[in-house]
Structure 1
Amino acid sequence: MPDFWGDHPQDLANFPPKTPKQRKAIVDFMTGPADPPKTVPLIAPLLEAFQKENPQITSWAILGFCWGVKIVTLVTTKGTKFKAAAGAHPSLMDVEDTKHVVVPTCVLPSQDEDPEASSLSPIEFISSRLKGLHLTSATI
């Protein structure tokens, strides 16, 4: 598991946020050191290092959790070296980003996404959250 934030991790005591101070700490973190545009450029050199150390592996996949699902979505576009992707407990997902994904991708929302989520199938849940998402038998 790469450590992208070094000396600037988010305090786990802030999750889930219960106070305005905790919410602000998370927002500051997500728009600061964990801002997706700042993280995306870190993925390619990491993959190159993995490939160099493991030349016998010829196909790579990427998995994201929570905020990492946004990163997965952004790095699996045209020109990606990844062959597949998955994400669990997604946050920050944007249907506009998903339109550019070019690899098979599995998204696994959890019961903690929204109280309504437990009463919906994963497909219904994702469809209700990502306006404009088109599901077909090829994408299910």
Structure 2
Amino acid sequence: MAWAMGRHLIDFEVVKQCGSGQKELKEEFNLNSLIQRLESVSPEERNRVATQLTVLDENLDEDEVSRRWLVALLTDLYAKRDVVADPLGEVEKIYADFDYPESVESFVRYMPASGGYDPAAHSHEQNVARLFENWKAFLDSAR
């Protein structure tokens, strides 16, 4: 969570909600005390603390953590695609937030098509459907 908080993917309220239900973490790391202390500091200080917590985890593989957050956010968005005004626009924001991972390019609207696909030979609806199919394929392969 510290990794995501430090990158503004989640905010402090999410950390509080997750922490309140995790008995083992509370006992091991005194999470309640940490939450109480963080509530009294500025958002900038919270981000600094989150970064420090991330550094403390010796087993942290930042690429793997980033990939898991990317998949989690895209999975959640895909599940909500019918109620989000512009889900492909949200994909573009996530793509930027994660420093433009190549694995997401196939369902970013403004990226050139690959694999010999010619968007000009298809309707707008077919092109959009293809982006959603590529998104679903990405999620299926990431699991």
Answer whether TM exceeds 0.5 for this pair. no
Max Rg structure: 2
The structure whose residues are more often strand, as a share, is 1
Higher relative contact order (CA 8 A, sep 6+): 2
The structure whose residues are more often helix, as a share, is 2
TM-score class, shorter: 0.3 to 0.5
- The TM-score, its normalising length taken from structure 2, stands at 0.32
